[in-house]
Amino acid sequence: MTFNGSMPAPMMVVHEGDYVEVTLVNPEANTMPHNVDFHSATGGLGGGALTHVNPGEQVVLRWKATRTGTFVYHCAPEGMIPWHVVSGMHGTVMVLPRDGLKNREGKPLRYDRVYYIGENDLYVPKDANGKYKSYDTPGEAFADTTEVMRKLIPTHVVFNGKVGALTGKNAMTAKVGETVMIVHSQANRDTRPHLIGGHGDYVWETGKFINPPEKDLETWFIRGGSAGAALYTFRQPGIYAYVNHNLIEAVELGASAHFKVEGEWNNDLMKQVKPPGPILPGKSSAADAVVQTR
Amino acid sequence: MLLAMKIKIAITAAALASPVALTVAPVASVGHSTADSAITLIAARPFQYRMAGDFSRDGKPAEAPLREARLSGDVKIMTSQVTSREYAHCVDDGGCPRIPRAPEMADRPVVGVSWRDATAYAEWITNKTGVLHRLPTDEEWVFAAGEKARDEALPLADPVDPAQAWIARYEAEANRVRPLAFDPQPIGTFGRNENGLDDIGGNVWEWTNTCFLRMMLEQTGAAQVTNTNCGVRVVQGAHRTYMTDFIRDPRTGGCAAGVPPANLGFRLIVDAQLPAFYRIVEEVALKLRAKL
């Protein structure tokens, strides 16, 4: 189940004060009613109350972007809201301030590119042999999936729909000196992004740009049902892993992405002083590690 | 009982120490055979071999030298990988740990086995048949794999700028052809190599007995071992890699950026003849059993 065929659904970028007009089409081939709740919209259950469409119907909604920041939107049909959300029907709206992003001192913050990461917890039923089940229609999966969901232990936690969506050939790229904005949205469950080998230079953990960004974070917290934004300027080339730092979720369940960063290595920031080799006599204990100061 | 234990210990110790050296002059059948697996005999001949492990020269990472090698004798190796059914016999007999994933496809290669599980199987079937079974060394595996052995030289990290090699390695790994299916496939799905072995380099990687070595190359070209870690063994298949011996399910994510093997399984070397001490012990055991 998706909006526009992708997990996460597309990110809509608008400006503060804009009127956003959305046409929601539920194709005839579908089997279920759908709607959409915009966390950035005001009233009408975020639009959910005014956008119910059955298969073969469409609806047009207009709402005003009154506050800035990154916000989740998701499907919210009666009786099956969580099922639609964890099946993939969630996206992000980014409402930018008219005068741009600013740091705590009010100085402008710029970025070269934006990466949009939608994290999705999935609850896929298994058969008696431990094999993941598949179903001919979504409706047939409802009861089994709900049973898995109610135990609150996801079978998968993934970025952008599947394991490997942002690794290998799909890895995100940047150059040393470039600033990236990472928009991270999680419509259902808490997550804690961490850039291995990097930091969050400026982080709007709650995603709302009117609040001053936090500086130099190691890990930040995205509450389930919200989207956050982080700026980072790469200072060192190489491969960076961007993970949900619940490492069980990152490694066992799939919540890992990679950045491939080109540029020149900075020996001042890091250097392998001595490659791995035999332990030197008298240095066999970890307790005598030496920190060099000047 | 006590005797059997001693045999088991002796064989284990010998298998761990230096497997190749165990092969004693050709043939004379021991009179037992493995119940299920077909065995292929590959006559010794020279082949190209690049040693496994991490090499350095003058403190900088270096490529392991590619050299002409020749094993001390012919290789007798299982034609195909050990199947779930075969492994299950060992489990039922109390010789192998029950592996967490239910083997529902009995006649396909067993997967989700660690080096320890594979070694337990080798010991069990050795005791069961009286024929020494063991994991191959990396060198033996490369020889048996023939044209299907992949000599993948990945870029070396320059300590002055380690990131360039790191990125190049990452790209090389990302460009590896991944198996279409992750489930183990019927024997023979991935073809037969020129030595008559099935499914080399398919979607099941195979454990070897070779420990992870760190080596220093001297000016003469000789390699000096600076560190041996037998908690990590060489794993062979569509690419060579290294795995901690208790790992059953190779996976990546987080800091580990590479592409892991799809599955871990194994096939065994079947030694033509048992070492003399074993045969004597076995004969005594048989006589004792006959008297009882």
Tell me the catalytic residues of A: 34, 37, 39, 74-75, 84, 89, 194, 218-219, 245
Q: Which of A129, A243, A265 is nearest residue B161 as measured by Cβ atoms?
A: A265
Question: What token pair was written down for A199?
Answer: 């930091």
CA distance B174 to chain A (A): 5
Q: What is the DSSP string of chain B?
A: -HHHHHHHHHHHHHHHH-GGGG--SS----S---SS--EEEE----EEEE--SEEEETTEEEPPPEEEE--SS-EEEESSPPBHHHHHHHHHTTSSPPPSS----TTSB--S--HHHHHHHHHHHHHHHSS-EEPPPHHHHHHHHGGG-----PPPPBTTBHHHHHHHHHHHHHTSPPPS--S---TTTT-B-TTS-BSTTSS-EEEEEEEEEEEEE-TTS-EEEEEEEEEEEEEESSS-EEEETT-SS---BTTB-SPPPS-EE---EE-SS--HHHHHHHHHHHHHHHH-
How many other C-beta atoms can be found within 10 angstroms of the C-beta atom of residue B52? 25
pLDDT > 70? residue A286: no
Q: Tell whether B175 is within 8 A of chain A (Cβ).
A: yes
- For residue B7, give the CATH number of its domain: 3.90.1580
* Residue A155: per-residue pLDDT: 97
How many other C-beta atoms can be found within 10 angstroms of the C-beta atom of residue A107? 8
Chain B CB contacts of A247 under 8 Å are 254
pLDDT digits (tens, 9 = 90+) for A28-46: 999 999 999 999 999 999 9
Q: Tell whether A244 is within 8 A of chain B (Cβ).
A: no
Cis, peptide link before residue A8, omega less than 30° from 0: yes
Q: Which of B162, B226, B254 is nearest residue A272 as measured by Cβ atoms?
A: B162
Q: Do A267 and B160 touch (CB under 8 A)?
A: yes
* Residue B277: per-residue pLDDT: 55
Mutate one of A156, A162, A167 to test the B interface: name it (highest B CB count within 10 A). Answer: A167
Q: Do B256 and A263 touch (CB under 8 A)?
A: no
Strands B241-244 and B223-236: antiparallel
Are A186 and A224 within 8 A, CB to CB?
A: yes
Are B225 and B213 within 8 A, CB to CB?
A: yes
Q: Do B163 and A263 touch (CB under 8 A)?
A: yes
pLDDT digits (tens, 9 = 90+) for A240-275: 999 999 999 999 999 999 999 999 999 999 998 888
pLDDT digits (tens, 9 = 90+) for A173-183: 999 999 999 99
Task: Report the sign of the C-alpha dihedral through residues A38, A43, A49, A50, in that order.
Answer: negative
pLDDT > 90? residue A216: yes
Comparing A146 with B6, the larger pLDDT belongs to A146
Residue indicated by tokens 């901690």: B244
Are A77 and A35 within 8 A, CB to CB?
A: yes
pLDDT > 60? residue B3: no
- Residue B34's pLDDT band, with cuts at 50, 70 and 90, is very low
Q: Tell whether A167 is within 8 A of chain B (Cβ).
A: yes
Q: For residues B113 and B264, what is the distance between their CA atoms, to the nearest angstrom?
A: 6
CA distance A104 to chain B (A): 31
Chain A CB contacts of B162 under 8 Å are 238, 265, 272
Percent of chain A with pLDDT over 90: 88
- Residue A51's pLDDT band, with cuts at 50, 70 and 90, is very high
Q: How many CB pairs under 8 A join A and B?
A: 84
pLDDT > 50? residue B16: no
Q: Do B167 and A238 touch (CB under 8 A)?
A: yes
Task: Give the chain B residue whose CA is nearest to the CA of A254.
Answer: B253
pLDDT > 80? residue B11: no
pLDDT digits (tens, 9 = 90+) for B222-267: 889 999 999 999 999 999 999 999 999 887 655 566 678 889 999 9
Q: Tell whether B101 is within 8 A of chain A (Cβ).
A: yes
Chain A CB contacts of B59 under 8 Å are 274-275
Q: Tell whether A195 is within 8 A of chain B (Cβ).
A: no
* Residue A8: per-residue pLDDT: 97
* Domain limits for position B272: 2-291
Q: For residues A275 and B61, what is the distance between their CA atoms, to the nearest angstrom?
A: 9
Q: Tell whether B47 is within 8 A of chain A (Cβ).
A: no
Instruction: State the total domains in chain B.
Output: 1
Work out the mean pLDDT of chain B and round it to a whole number.
81
Q: Which residues pair with A53 in a beta bridge?
A: A34
SS3 of residue A210 by DSSP: coil
Are B105 and B290 within 8 A, CB to CB?
A: no
Task: Summarize the confidence of residues B276-290 as an average pLDDT.
Answer: 58
* Residue A183: per-residue pLDDT: 98
pLDDT > 50? residue B30: no
> Is residue A123 exposed (0-12), middle (13-18) or buried (19+ Cβ within 10 Å)?
buried
Q: For residues A229 and A185, what is the distance between their CA atoms, to the nearest angstrom?
A: 9
Q: Do B227 and A278 touch (CB under 8 A)?
A: yes
* Residue B284: per-residue pLDDT: 63
pLDDT > 80? residue B99: yes
pLDDT > 70? residue B276: no
Q: Tell whether B249 is within 8 A of chain A (Cβ).
A: no
Are B90 and B103 within 8 A, CB to CB?
A: no
* Residue B5: per-residue pLDDT: 37
pLDDT > 50? residue B23: no
Contacts of B138 (CB under 8 A, 6+ apart): B51, B52, B208, B209, B210, B234, B236, B240
Chain A CB contacts of B227 under 8 Å are 276-278
Q: Tell whether A5 is within 8 A of chain B (Cβ).
A: no
Q: Tell whether A127 is within 8 A of chain B (Cβ).
A: no
